[in-house]
Amino acid sequence: MATLNESLDNLMTTDGAICAALVDANSGMCLGTAGNTASFDLDIAAAGNTEVVRSKLKTMSALGIKESIEDILITLSGQYHIINPVSQHAGLFFYVVLDRSKSNLALARRKTADVSVALAI
């Protein structure tokens, strides 16, 4: 098990990591952040991505899908954004921003999932 700070520090060791946050999807607020937050406003990103998670859950409900979200991936021309709900702590998700040219998406998704499972709050 890992603390919040250990988890965020671990995410920042991912190749190409720019920044990471643990977000409360109920409020849209960051509970912790790491990385280059001067060039990337994680508070705005957290609030916006909370809406992404809520929208996906609402759509799944409307479709009668009874599964859980493993992760949500947003690909931009120069970045990857990974949203990973923390399964053992409903309402929380990790948000990781990666430089696309410096990262391996498969490894980043795997590491984010591993960190999410190991989080102890």
- Going residue by residue through the chain (121 aa), what tens digit of pLDDT does each one get? 999 999 999 999 999 999 999 999 999 999 999 998 888 899 999 999 999 999 999 999 999 999 999 999 999 999 999 999 999 999 999 999 999 999 999 999 999 999 999 999 8
The CA distance from 110 to 94, in Å, is: 13
Q: Are 83 and 71 in contact (CB under 8 A)?
A: yes
CA distances to 65, 66, 104 from 61, rounded to whole Å, are: 6, 7, 32
Q: What is the largest CA-CA distance in the chain?
A: 41
Domains of the chain with bracketed CATH: 4-118 (3.30.450.30)
* Radius of gyration from C-alpha coordinates of the chain: 13
- Enter the pTM of the model: 0.95
Residue count (the chain): 121
Q: Are 21 and 9 in contact (CB under 8 A)?
A: no
